[in-house]
Chain A
Amino acid sequence: MDQDVQDRALPIANVGRIMKQILPPSAKISKEGKQLMQECVTEFISFVTGEASDKCHKENRKTVNGDDICWALSSLGFDNYAEAIGRYLHIYRQGEREKINHTKKYENPQNQTQINRAPPPPLLLSRVENPPPTNQSG
């Protein structure tokens, strides 16, 4: 595999490491096996992206997003992946929202002072007193 082609594939070290983690410790993987998996997973990305891109085109949208990838996986027969990826996407977006809230908190020290000054309403008190059980999914 020449350098140009190699730059357009996923790094073989990463692919080999993931394969190794799946197999029993005594298993070995030939170099050719890693190379072929490298090519297969690269083709997988192109295949799914093409399907997602077609959907965007039909809907007159220009940006391929996470939902399009999930839809493409499902339409191409990778239903189990689409379910797992859907959950992952949900967790990711929650994380992004929390990050934004965290940033806002520090960007507006004035607001924080105001919040501290004002007496909290009863609803907030009841919410604090009875926090919902944290979801440990993931």
Chain B
Amino acid sequence: MRQAGAYSGLLCGGVSGRTGPHSLPLARIKKIMKNSGEGVKMISGEAPIIFSKACDLFIEELTRRSWIMAIQGKRRTLHKEDLASAVIATDIFDFLITLVSNSDSHAVGGATNVMEVETIDYS
């Protein structure tokens, strides 16, 4: 009988039948990769799979940092302004500043008193 242990790390994250064990649809990730530039020729089968995991980590970190912004504003609903503030406050998210600035966010331009956020450790 096949050992379940080898697959438990991959399968325990499953959320719906449509995406299999992954929380995001792999075909869509592959399509986005293809559309990212002329230079992308071929994509190995494993690339969208590990990108699915990377996106989980990205969404987790940005959501956590955005939530801190919402809490600072004494709110229980996470708004796009909170995401914009989190992007502005975090160096590794610099590539998103143009994107969040294009949305009509009040957080952009105005000085924001930002609490220092410790790096999230994924150990």
Contacts and interface: CB of A to CB of B under 8 A. Distances in A.
B80 to A, nearest CB: 4
Interface in B87-123: 87, 91-93, 95-96, 99-100, 103, 119-122
A80 B50 contact: no
A102 B2 contact: yes
B60 to A, nearest CB: 5
Interface stretch (A37-45, A107-115, A119-127): A37-45
A136 B121 CA distance: 20
Contacts of A26: 76
B40 A64 contact: yes
Given A50-B36, A80-B119, A30 B77 contact: yes
Nearest to A35: B80
Interface in A29-61: 29-30, 32-33, 35-37, 39-50, 53-54, 56-57
17 contacts: A10-B55, A18-B23, A27-B67, A27-B78, A28-B76, A28-B78, A32-B103, A33-B79, A43-B96, A44-B58, A46-B36, A50-B37, A65-B46, A70-B50, A78-B92, A89-B50, A98-B2
A91 B17 CA distance: 21
Contacts of B83: 33, 36-37, 40
Chain A interface SS verdict (over half): helix
Contact of A14 (B23, B41, B49, B77): B23
Q: Interface extent on B, as a size class?
A: 35 or more
Interface string B35-55: 111011111101101110111
Residue with the greatest number of chain A CB neighbours at <10 A, chosen from B7, B51, B119 = B51
Interface of B: 2-3, 5-10, 12, 15, 19, 23-25, 28-29, 31-33, 35-37, 39-44, 46-47, 49-51, 53-60, 62-64, 66-67, 70, 76-80, 82-84, 87, 91-93, 95-96, 99-100, 103, 119-122
Interface string A57-85: 10000111110111001001110110111
B78 A41 contact: no
